[in-house]
Every structure is written in C-alpha cells, then in structure tokens.
Amino acid sequence: MASMQDCITNCLDCHSVCLATIAHCLEKGGDHAAPEHIRLLQDCAQICIVSADFMLRRSPMHRMTCRICADICIACADDCSKLADDETMVLCAETCRRCAQSCAEMAADRKAA
C-alpha cells in the first residue's frame, strides 16, 4: 500500500511530467498537438496538483480527489500510449499509470484520512 507521502510525490511528478509533455507535443505538432490530447494532459496536470494539495492539507475529501485523479491519469496514460513514438510520451504514460495506481490505493484506504 502506497503511503500518503508516496501518493503526493507521484501526483507532483505527474503534474510536472504532463506539463513538460504538453510543451513537447505542441513542438512536435500533428496528432500530438490535437486539442483533445492537449486538453487531457492539462486536465491530468491540474487534477494531480489538486489531489496533492488536498493530501498535503490532510483534507478529509482527499479520497474523492484521488478517485477522480486515478481515472483521469488512466485516460491520459492510454492517450499518451497511442502516441508512444518517443521517450517523452512513454515517460508520460508510465508516470500517469504510477500516479493512477497510488491514487486508486489512496481513494480506497479508509485509514488515510
């Protein structure tokens, strides 16, 4: 079981990787710069920072943000995997999956409040 600190770290990592991936995708163009792909990366980065914030503040609502964070991270990882033609996209997909896993565990952990 991931600790809350591990989950916070994974969320912060995912936030920064998604932001870096947006810049990479915009430079690369084509399918990488598709509005729906960029929007999903933005959504993922934002929910990750919100989830980290909720956990850092020990909000009793953090399980709800972690639950949606896990769902969005999976969607982002799947989308990045479709464009996994370079190491940036592979790193983003792997980072999103790691964050999704720890957030799913945090969302299910009744003792983490």
8-36 residue pLDDT tens: 999 999 999 999 999 999 999 999 999 99
pLDDT(55) > 80: yes
DSSP string, 12-35: HHHHHHHHHHHHHHHHH-GGGG-H
Alpha helices in 29-86 (DSSP H): 35-56, 62-82
In a domain, 47, yes or no: yes
In a domain, 14, yes or no: yes
62-87 residue pLDDT tens: 999 999 999 999 999 999 999 988 99
Q: Which domain holds residue 12?
A: 4-108
pLDDT for the residue numbered 111 = 58
CATH number, domain containing residue 102: 1.20.1270.360
In a domain, 67, yes or no: yes
In a domain, 113, yes or no: no
pLDDT for the residue numbered 109 = 76
Instruction: Give dist(CA 22, CA 111) in Å, integer.
Output: 35
Domains in the chain, number: 1
In a domain, 104, yes or no: yes
**pTM to 2 decimals?**
0.93
Sign of torsion over alpha carbons 42, 43, 48, 50: positive
In a domain, 69, yes or no: yes
